[in-house]
Amino acid sequence: MDPSAMPAAPPDPTPPPSPPRHVRRTLLRRFRRDANGVTAVEFSLVAMPFFAILFSILEVSLAFWTSQVMESMIADASRQIYTGQFQLQASNQGKSAAQLAEAFKDMICGTEVKDGQKVNRLPLFDCHGKLKIDVRSYSAFPGAITPPVTNGALDTSSFTYQNSQPNEIVVVRAALEYPVFVSLLNTNQGNLANGNRLLMATATFRNEPYQ
């Protein structure tokens, strides 16, 4: 009979003997004293909260910086209305409210035309595409103006441009929906339903008697 044709012996179900107790104690003591990889283990425990805090600080700082830039831009552009330069500019005569709003936004954003397309001089955010402008004139200082938010979403459907006259009171508002990327710590950076943050800049003044 061919020995190769014989069935293989079944495996021994008996588990291998465990190492002696003193060997196990020696291995355990050696494992406790081994400091290799301690830094990597400790960093893995604190890496997630560390980077979450770091990126949250950076995002909050960038949001405040953007808000400050908006305030400065609105203040500078509003002076053109305050002194009547924007209203009396020859290129703005005969324009509709929508065209005046577009021209005023171009002045705010410092938009210049390159290769037939508008390019923001300040590439901090898509100023011309995302910044919404509302300019209104009043005979007396208005009361509280509510933010343009409806059901937790930015609603600028009522935004317009009203051409003002000398000595009239003007309120210029700018709204920007700013994206929030880091929300791990739930720092309430987003104040809209979609998690984004609404940034507002406002200027209120009485026009000079420029005529």
Q: What would the pLDDT profile of 9-31 be if each residue is shown by its tens digit?
A: 666 666 666 666 666 677 667 66
**Entry pTM:** 0.71
Report the pLDDT value the prediction gives residue 155, as an integer from 0 to 100.
93
Q: CA angle, corner 167, sides to 79 and 175, nearest 5?
A: 45
Tell me: pLDDT of 185 over 80.
no
pLDDT band at 159 (very low <50, low <70, confident <90, very high): very high
At 169, is the pLDDT very low, low, confident or very high (cuts 50, 70, 90)?
very high
Number of residues that make up the chain: 211
Domain ranges of the chain: 38-206
Q: Give the least confident one: 50-54, 150-154, 202-206.
A: 50-54
**What is the percent of the chain where pLDDT is above 90?**
30
54-64 mean pLDDT: 86
pLDDT cut 70: percent of the chain above it:
73
pLDDT of residue 86: 92
The sign of the dihedral angle between the CA atoms of 37, 38, 39, 43 is positive
Give the mean model confidence (pLDDT) for residues 38-65: 83
- Residue range 185-202: mean pLDDT, rounded: 81
pLDDT over 60 at 82, yes or no: yes
| Secondary structure of 24-50 in HEC code, one letter for each residue | HHHHHHHHHHCCCCHHHHHHHHHHHHH
Residue 4 scores a pLDDT above 60:
no
Average pLDDT of the residues in 85-109:
90
Nearest of 85, 106, 173, 100 to residue 135 by alpha carbon: 173
